[in-house]
Amino acid sequence: MATITGPIDVSALRARLDRASAAAEQAGVDALLISPGSDLRYLIGAGGDSFERLTCLALPVGGTPTLVVPKLEQPGYAAVPTDELGVQVVTWVDGEDPYALVKAALKGTRVAVADMMPALHTIKLGNAVGGEQTLAGPIIRELRMRKDASEIAALRKAGAAIDRVHARMGEFLRVGRTEREVAKDIAAAIVEEGHTVADFVIVGSGPNGASPHHRDSDRVVEAGDVVVIDIGGPVAEGYNSDSTRTYVMGEPSYDDVRDTYAVLQAAQQAAVDAVKPGVTCEEVDAAARSVIADAGFGEYFVHRTGHGIGLDVHEEPYIVSGNALPLEPGMAFSVEPGIYLPGRWGARIEDIVVATADGVESFNNRPHELVVL
C-alpha cells in the first residue's frame, strides 16, 4: 500500500505531470505507464509497492492522467490530491481486467513503461495495449536528475541528518564490539536523527573495509583497525542521504594508512572542486581518479566516483568514465572515491553535492580527515 510521509506541493506535482507528458511527446511515445516506485512518487507524491495486482499511472500525451488502482489499495492513495492534479482514479476488484482499464485511458499504442515495472505487468500490458513498448526511464530521468528548490532543500535536510549520525560515531564504534552490533546502533541513530528508516549501514572493519559493498559481520573491531562507515536513508520528503567517513581505532595497524589516506582525501577534494556547470560527469570522475592513479593506487580504486541521488539512492547522473553528460545546476550526486587494499584495509570519503549556478554546494560537512576514535 502507498503511504505519504511528507508534504505534498500540488503546483510542483502538476508541473511535473505536464513536463513528463511533454517529454513523452518529444520522445515519440503516446503515453507513459508508471508503476509504484520512485517515479510514481515523483509524479503524484505517493510511491507504494508493486504487487501481483496492477497499480499503474497512465499518462497519455494530451490526455487525462489516470491512476488505475485495486480498490483494496485505494486507501493508500487517498491523500493524493488527485482532483487538484487533474488525475482520474479508476479502481478495480478481483475478477476484472485492469490492463483493459489502462488501455481505455490511452490514445495510442506507443507506450513507455517504468523501468522497474514487474515483468508480470509489463507483458500483460503489452498484450492488452499492443503496439510498441519502450522504457520510460530515459524520459523521466531527464526531469528527475535536475532537482528543483524543494528537492534540494530535502537533500540538504537529509545531509545534515546523516552528518549528525557521523558526529556520534564514538558512541557506537568501539574496540571489542562486532560490526553487527555497531551497525544496529547506527541504524537506530539514523532514525533518531531525522530519517524515516535506515536504508543501509556498512561497517567494514580491518580487511572487510577493502570490500566496498561489505555490509556487516560478526567480526570484532580491533585496536588499530581502519573502519569504513557508509550510511544513509530517506527523510520524510522521500529524499535520501548517503555519506561515508573512515575511522581508525587508535594508532593504525599499518604504517601506510596515513599517507595513503592523504592521497584519498586529496582525490575527493579534487573531484568536488571540479564540479561546476558545463563540466562533464567523466571529467569529475577523472579529477579523483588521476590523483589516485598518479600516487600508484589506480588499481585499488575499483568503482565509479559517484552516483546521482534523490528519491532513489542511486539514480542519474552517474559520475563515471564514458559519461560525457555536462553538469547543470540542480544535478545532485555523490563524490566518493575509495582505495581498497585487499586483505588489509580500505578507505572511502563520500559527500553528496549539487551543482549550482556558479559551482558546487556540499550537503555533508563533517571533517574529511581520518577520524581517530
Q: Identify the band that residue 5 occupies on the pLDDT scale cut at 50, 70 and 90.
A: low
Smallest CA-to-CA distance from 265 within 213, 210, 335, 202 is with 335
Single-letter amino acid, residue 172: F
Handedness of CA 67, 71, 73, 74 (dihedral sign): positive
pLDDT for res 1: 54
Residues of the chain with CATH 3.40.350.10: 10-144
CA–CA distance, 231 with 213 (Å, rounded to integer): 11
- In three-state secondary structure terms, 245 is strand
Q: Identify the band that residue 166 occupies on the pLDDT scale cut at 50, 70 and 90.
A: very high
**Joined grid coordinates for residue 114:** 517504468
Q: Hey, what CATH topology would domain 10-144 get?
A: Creatine Amidinohydrolase; Chain A, domain 1 (3.40.350)
Residues of the chain with CATH 3.90.230.10: 149-372
Which CB contacts under 8 angstroms, 24+ apart, belong to 149-153?
150/9, 150/12, 150/237, 151/239, 151/310, 151/330, 151/332, 152/330, 152/332, 152/354
Q: What is the mean pLDDT of the chain?
A: 96
pLDDT for res 6: 63
Residue-wise pLDDT tens digits, 289-340: 999 999 999 999 999 999 999 999 999 999 999 999 999 999 999 999 999 9
How do 133-135 and 200-205 pair as beta strands?
unpaired
Residue-wise pLDDT tens digits, 60-97: 999 999 999 999 999 999 999 999 999 999 999 999 99
Please tell me the class of the 149-372 domain.
Answer: alpha beta
**Joined grid coordinates for residue 325:** 553528460
- In three-state secondary structure terms, 283 is helix
pTM of the prediction?
Answer: 0.94
**Residue written as grid cell 497519455:** 60
What value does the mean pLDDT take over residues 344-355? 98
